[in-house]
Structure 1
C-alpha cells in the first residue's frame, strides 16, 4: 500500500527541484523513452528508506552538478508509482528489482546500475563520485 502522498512529496521534491523529471505512470515512462531513444539518461528508482534519504537522493543531486553528466535524468518512486516503477524495471532487463537504485542508460540500453546494496553504507559524496565515474565513461 502506498504511503501518504504528503509524506513522500518532500522525497520527490528532493530530486525534481533539481531538474530530475518525474515519471508517475507506465505510459509516461514509455512515452519518455520513445521520445528520447538516443543519448544518456540517468534513471533513479526513489524510495522512502533511509539509504535513499542519506545517500541516493543527495548523491544523485551532487553527481548531476558535475561537468560530465547524462543528457537527461528521470525518477520513479517505488511503492508509490508502481506501474511506472515496473515499466522502468522492465527496461533494466534481467537486473533484480532494487530500491532505491540508479541506472544509467545509453541509447536505450542499461550500461551501469547501482543497486541498493551498493548504496547502503556509502555517503552522498562517495555515491556521487561513483556516478561521476560512470558519467565520465558513458556520457
Structure 2
C-alpha cells in the first residue's frame, strides 16, 4: 500500500464523484494491467483523478456528463494522483512514457494503445461542457458499448464539488 499524500477521508468525495458515474477504482499495477493491457478489442477509459482545481471544475463533471452518451468505453477506471502512486507511476512509465506526467488526465486505450489522451494542459483550458463534448466525440469515434454509464435519474441527482486542492490536508 502506498503512503498517501492526502488525508484519505478528505479526498473520498473526489473518488465518489467518479465511482458514482460508473468508474471502477484501481489501486495496483496488476489491476491497471488487467484493464489496459487486455487484448480483447475493448476500450478502456483511464481517468487520473486529482485534487487540483481543474479536476474539480472541469475533469470530473466533464467526464461524468460524457458518460451519459449513447456510446461509452467498455471499461472506465480511475486512480487518484498522490494516493495510488505505484500504480500511477506504472501507467506513466509503461503506457505514457512519451508524455509529461500530469493530473488530471483522461486516456482512452484499446489493446494497450492510446487512442486519445487528454492531458492536464488541455483540460485546464476547457469548461466541463467542452471537455464532455470532446470526450463524446472520442467515444462516438472509438466506442461501441451502449451508454449511459448510469441511469439518467441517478446522474441527475449528482453534484460535483468545486474546491481548491490546497485546502486538502497532507498526511
TM-score, scaled to structure 1: 0.92
Cα deviation, 1:56-94, whole Å, max 9, x if unaligned, reads 011111001101111110011111110111122222341
Greater mean alpha carbon deviation, residues 23-32 or residues 59-68: 23-32
Counterpart position of 1:85:
88
Alpha carbons 2:38, 2:112 under 8 Å: kept: no
* Alignment partners' CA distance in 2, 1:22 and 1:55: 20
| Aligned length, in residue pairs | 139
Greater mean alpha carbon deviation, residues 89-98 or residues 62-71: 89-98
Q: CA deviation at 1:34?
A: 5.0
For structure 1, which runs of at least 5 residues remain unmatched after alignment?
none
Counterpart position of 1:55:
58
Q: How does 1:1-139 map to 2 (within 5 A)?
A: 2-33=5-36, 37-89=40-92, 90-139=94-143
Asked which structure has the greater CA Rg, the reply is 2
Classify 1:35/1:117 alpha carbon distance in 2 versus 1 (closer, same or farther; 3 Å). Answer: closer
For structure 2, which runs of at least 5 residues remain unmatched after alignment?
144-171
Greater mean alpha carbon deviation, residues 95-104 or residues 45-54: 95-104
Alpha carbons 2:37, 2:111 under 8 Å: kept: no
Alpha carbons 2:44, 2:77 under 8 Å: kept: yes
Counterpart position of 2:155:
none
* Alignment partners' CA distance in 2, 1:15 and 1:73: 9
Q: CA RMSD in A?
A: 1.5
The structure that is helix-richer by fraction is 1
